[in-house]
Amino acid sequence: MNGNRAMSFLGLANRAGKAVSGEELVLKEVRSGRAKLVLLSKDASSNTSKKVLDKCRFYNVPVHFVETRETLGKAIGKEARVTVAVCDRGFAEKLAELLDES
């Protein structure tokens, strides 16, 4: 399954310093125009989901959904995370491609 490849690639982007996690940091990156792709867990609260989706829609940042917050957190070597922003175009495009395949 390619979902695992996508999560491994997200871990790589994180280790390269090209990803931020946590709602406030992600929203800040979206507002600043640095976020190229946002990942949101399907089990995020409706309030968080709405906030992140509205902000991404307004700033034209693509959003991909990930099954659980644990999956997202594990991919970047942290505890559960509901949202992660990738701040590098190359990483974002490759990650979106991997996520579309899964």
- Paired with 37 in beta bridges are 86
Domains of the chain (ranges; CATH) run: 2-101 (3.30.1330.30)
pLDDT at residue 102, rounded to an integer: 72
User: What span, in angstroms and rounded, lies between the C-alpha atoms of 44 and 9?
Assistant: 22
The mean per-residue pLDDT over the stretch 5-25 comes to 96
Compute the C-alpha angle 33/43/8, nearest 5°.
Answer: 65
Sheet hosting strand 83-86, strand order edge to edge: 19-21, 83-86, 37-41, 63-66
pTM of this structure = 0.95
Residue 1 has pLDDT above 50, yes or no: no
The mean per-residue pLDDT over the stretch 82-92 comes to 98
Residue 2 pLDDT grade (very low, low, confident, very high; cuts 50, 70, 90): low
Looking at residue 37, its amino acid is: L
